[in-house]
Structure formats: C-alpha cells, structure tokens
Amino acid sequence: MFDVPLTALAPMQDVTTLPFMRLLGKYGAPDLLFTEYFRVHGHSRLESHIVDSILHHGTGRPVFAQLIGESLSDLERTVAAIESAGLPVAGIDLNMGCPAPKVYKKHVGGGLLRDPAKVDAILGCLRAAVPGRFTVKMRIGFEDDRNFETILDLLEKHRVDLLSLHARTVKEAYRSEVHYEYIRRAVERLPCPVLGNGNITSVAKGQQVLDQTGCAGLMVGRHCIRNPWIFRQLREHFAGEAIYAPTLADVRQYVEDLYQATTLPDRKGHFHINHLKKFLNFVGLSVDADGKFLHDMRRTKSKAELDRICDQHLIAGGRAAELYPAEPIKGLVARPNCETSQGCSL
C-alpha cells in the first residue's frame, strides 16, 4: 500500500502542542501529525492554541485535527467551523480511545466504545460532514473486547479512511501488555490503512509490531517524549540507512530545548519546572538503572537546580559520550500522576 510504513505522532493532551510539534520538526518529524483534541459540546469553540498548532507547526507534514464529543449537531458545527476558518488540515480524526475517567464518564473518548449504536450515529454524522479524510483513533474496547468486531464493521460501513488502534482496553489504560493481535485483526478486516499504537518504544519494537500485525504504519506517543529522535530513526531504518544513536550529551541539549519550548509568559519559576517534569519523567526512563536521575530531578524547584542535576547525570564523569539507550530501562516508571496529566493516547 505504501512504499515504506507510515509514522505518526499520537495526539496527547498538553503534549502535542505547537512548541512540541516544532521541536519534533527539529529532531525529525513523523509523516503525520495529530493535534490535541478539540472539545466539542454545546458551547465549544475552536481552541486557539490548537488552531495555532495547525497553522504554525512548520514541519512541512500534514496535520489531522482531532475532535472529542458525542453531540451530532455540535460535531457537525465544529467540522464546519474548521472548514470556514480555512484551516489547512489533512483530515478530521475522532477520538474514541481516551482512557481518562473524567473523559469516559462523560460518554466521550473511550466511553463511546460501550455504545455501538452511538458510534454508528457519530461515524455516519462525521462521514457526511467531513469533505475530505475522516480518520478514527480508538482502543480495542472499554473493559473488554465485546464490541470490537461490531465497531470494525461500523468503521467499514462508514468508509473511515484510516484507523489508529491502541491495542489495549480503556480500563487497562497504559498498565497492561499491549494486545497486538487485535491490530492484526483490524488489518485483516478493514479496507483502510491501520496504524499500530501502544508501547512503540524503539525501532526494534516498531519493526516487531509491523511484522506481527501487518499494519500500514506506527503511531508513537509517550516514547517520542522520551526519545524525540525515534521518527528519524524509524525513517532511517526503513530506508536501510545507519540509524542515528544519540548520546547523553544530546539528551542534555534536548532537556534545554524542552525548557525553551515550554516557556510561557505566565509559566515561571517552579511552575515552569513542574510542568517540565511531565516530560522529564519519560526522558529519565533511559538515563540510569537505579533511577537516581528521576529521583533527583523530581525534587528540583528551579532552573539552576535542574541544570545542576542534568549536568551531574548526563554530562559529568565522562557520561556525555555514553549512548542513550533505545529502550526504557526495566523497572523504571513515570509517576502515575504525571502520566495521567498527559491526557490521551500515550
């Protein structure tokens, strides 16, 4: 179907913002970008920061606007607003996978997977409203897979143009193993391309998932926070080229780039450092086996303290030339509150 597998940036709330998209453009952008979700309800408007990410990401890559909601009239209105605003989107993506309780309890995101009849109505509404590509991001079910095959039938019925499938249930969130066999089932059932999503940690893991599922490409979420070179590395792998191997010195520069990218006029001092820790919780998963960087980083309160800790763990004692591990170190985890605050599709 494609000369080489596609790569895609997973939509992540508070992460796939304009600054992070630009940063990936520097480190190696994926083939496809997906925005944070536009919240769709009776009083919703197009959030300006998401509009900015569509207009100004500067990567040269196509970007899909993601929507989350369940009101048919408001979904239609939002698609029309995107069209009338002339936003240069490659398509509209529907979120049917967000596992955050505050989301699924409102019967949107992953909560929709409990109600195939509602899914049928929403897919039909959006297929009629979207003039171009209409795509879906979903999980394999809410608490089990009881509706999986039915929803695959609905995706085919409504001629969805691409499916991104995170192969866990909503209730499993990010804790369980990923059930990649469901991606293969979707590939075998659907005429549209399927992107495999869920714990794509490295080039080697990505190739394993491609081989196991036959999917058309890979969607990467939290592991491009940990390793912003992953899309470049995948592209080099698919081309049969030497794969870039970052050092801890490169990681040190990445931390500085993250700090600059997350700088806002109203985000200063320890508020800025605490926001940055959401990203560094993932970066630290590949720094040291004893988790000392994570321990020390989480206790910093200023840029000066953070610089000292980063220099100590990433630069000092000859560490600068060490290669940054491709995989997260076993036994290390991001703090649950940090992971949850990242929102959907990690």
Residues with catalytic function: 98
Query: Which among 185, 66, 191 is positioned nearest to 137, based on CA atoms?
Result: 66
Whose structure tokens read 């997350």?
262
268, 274, 280, 284: CA torsion to nearest 10 = 140
Residues 6+ apart with CB under 8 A from 233: 28, 202, 203, 227, 243, 244
| Bridge partners of residue 166, in order along the sequence | 139, 197
The answer to whether 137 and 95 have CB atoms below 8 angstroms apart is yes
The answer to whether 57 and 35 have CB atoms below 8 angstroms apart is no
Query: Which among 249, 248, 257 is positioned nearest to 276, based on CA atoms?
Result: 257
Residue 239, helix vs strand vs coil: coil
232, 250, 9, 104: CA torsion to nearest 10 = 160
User: Can you tell me the distance from the alpha carbon of 157 to that of 153, in angstroms, rounded to the nearest whole number?
Assistant: 6
Residue 266 CB coordination number (10 Å):
6
User: Can you tell me the distance from the alpha carbon of 84 to that of 75, in angstroms, rounded to the nearest whole number?
Assistant: 14
Phi and psi at residue 3, to the nearest 5°: -60, -40
